[in-house]
Chain A
Amino acid sequence: MSSLEARVAQLENIEAIRALKVHYARLCDDGYAADPLAALFTQDCLWDGGIMGSYEGREAVRRFFGAATVRVRFALHMMVSHTIDIAPSGTEASGYWYLWQPMTLDGVAHLSAVTYDDEYRKVDGSWLFHRVKVNRHFTAPYDKGWVKQRLPVG
């Protein structure tokens, strides 16, 4: 592979991972459809949601997303400010993201601020989530703000 081709492949990999994360956000916001969401993860994935729990393997992740709409009636995952690093192998990568998320949790307006530490794997030509770590800075009721109440009650 020529050096120029390798450089273009690098840019394409970064764009593909950016598109993967944004697609994830859109699926969440459109009702957390469990099957399409689970398909974005490797079979031996890990979703580490901190206080939301940890889920190992694609089936556990599928069940988690399938139950999300019970408490979350509305969310907009504004997924921005990425830093994406592709490993020399070209089939592993890591990413860091900022998320700003207005949401309705248990019927109450909340604002969520999260950063992500992600690991990705390229499987059969497609990038998938392999590890997702959710750093929850706050999920605060809109009428209180994060100083008065950093995390939801219960």
Chain B
Amino acid sequence: MAQTLEQRVLLLEEINAIDRLKQEYARTLDRYDTGEAFAALFTPDGVLDIGPMGRYEGRDAIAGFFNGVRDTLSFFLHYTMAHAVDVDLEANTARGTWYMWEPATRNDEAYLVAITYDDEFRKVGGRWLFTLSRSTYHFMCPYDKGWVEQRLPPD
């Protein structure tokens, strides 16, 4: 179906808006904002699926997970990049994938984390929100060892 000029512009805007939301996800984590601020990026029935770190449904569970994260992870930076986003302009839904590279300090030890995200979104009241963020952990290795010697943490 041929797109109008307005639809073409809208698609570019929506791809930009969704990447901005994903960047806000990263920045909210990295500045250790509140669990509530992080959970507000999700729909009320949104799901956070963090592989080995668990699956959390709904804003309260998501906020609870985030508030507990700094017990083991005192520092991280979520370098979130290389987005591929598909938008359904009629349904106001979208899917997106990103690569994420993360230096972190876990139990006072330097770690390197490599994740890809498979996320889903819905536009609600003019704002995009996560309905699902799913992380695939490719490795979470001690910096001193590397991902071949130790792909994931022992504990």
Residues of A within 8 A of B (CB): 4, 7-8, 10-11, 14, 80-83, 96, 98, 100, 111, 113, 115, 137-138, 145-148
Q: Shortest CB–CB separation between residue A129 and chain B, in angstroms?
A: 20
Query: Cβ of A147 and Cβ of B23 under 8 Å apart?
Result: no
Point out the residue from B9, B24, B81, B103 that lies within 8 Å of A146, measured CB to CB.
B103
Docked complex Cα distance between A24 and B6 (Å): 33
Q: Are A80 and B79 in contact (CB under 8 A)?
A: yes
B40 at the A/B interface (Cβ < 8 Å)? no
The one of A11, A83, A147 in contact with B110, judged by C-beta atoms closer than 8 angstroms, is A147
Q: Does B148 contact A (CB under 8 A)?
A: no
Additional A-B contact list (13), CB under 8 Å, known A11-B12, A98-B77, A145-B110: A10-B13, A11-B9, A11-B16, A80-B79, A81-B26, A81-B79, A82-B23, A83-B24, A100-B101, A111-B103, A113-B103, A115-B30, A145-B144
**Interchain nearest-CB distance for B144 vs A (Å):** 7
Contact B9 A147 (CB under 8 A): no
Distance between Cα atoms of A100 and B103 in the complex (Å): 10
B41-84 interface with A by 8 A CB criterion: 75, 77, 79-81
B105 pairs with A83, CB closer than 8 A: no
Whether B16 lies near A14 (C-beta < 8 A) is yes
Considering the complex of A and B, which 4 residue pairs feature the smallest CB-CB distances, nearest first? A145-B110, A145-B143, A147-B110, A80-B81
In the bound complex, what is the Cα–Cα distance between A146 and B23 (angstroms)? Answer: 23
Kindly state the separation between the CA atoms of A4 and B80 in the bound complex, as whole angstroms.
30
Taking CB atoms, residues of chain B closer than 8 Å to A81 are 23, 26, 79-81
> Contact: A113 with B77, CB < 8 Å?
yes
Is the Cβ of B24 less than 8 Å from the Cβ of A98? no
20 A-B pairs with C-beta separation under 8 A: A7-B9, A11-B9, A11-B12, A80-B79, A81-B26, A82-B23, A83-B23, A83-B27, A100-B101, A113-B77, A113-B103, A115-B30, A115-B77, A137-B75, A145-B110, A145-B143, A145-B144, A146-B103, A147-B105, A147-B143
Q: Determine how close the nearest CB of chain B comes to the CB of A118; give it in whole angstroms.
A: 14
A138 vs B103: C-alpha distance when bound (angstroms): 10
Chain B residue contacts of A11, Cβ below 8 A: 9, 12-13, 16
How distant is the Cα of A83 from the Cα of B31 in the complex, in angstroms?
15
Say whether, besides A80-B79, A98-B79, A8 and B9 are in contact (CB < 8 Å). Answer: yes
Q: How far is A69 from B52 in the complex, measured between Cα atoms in Å?
A: 44
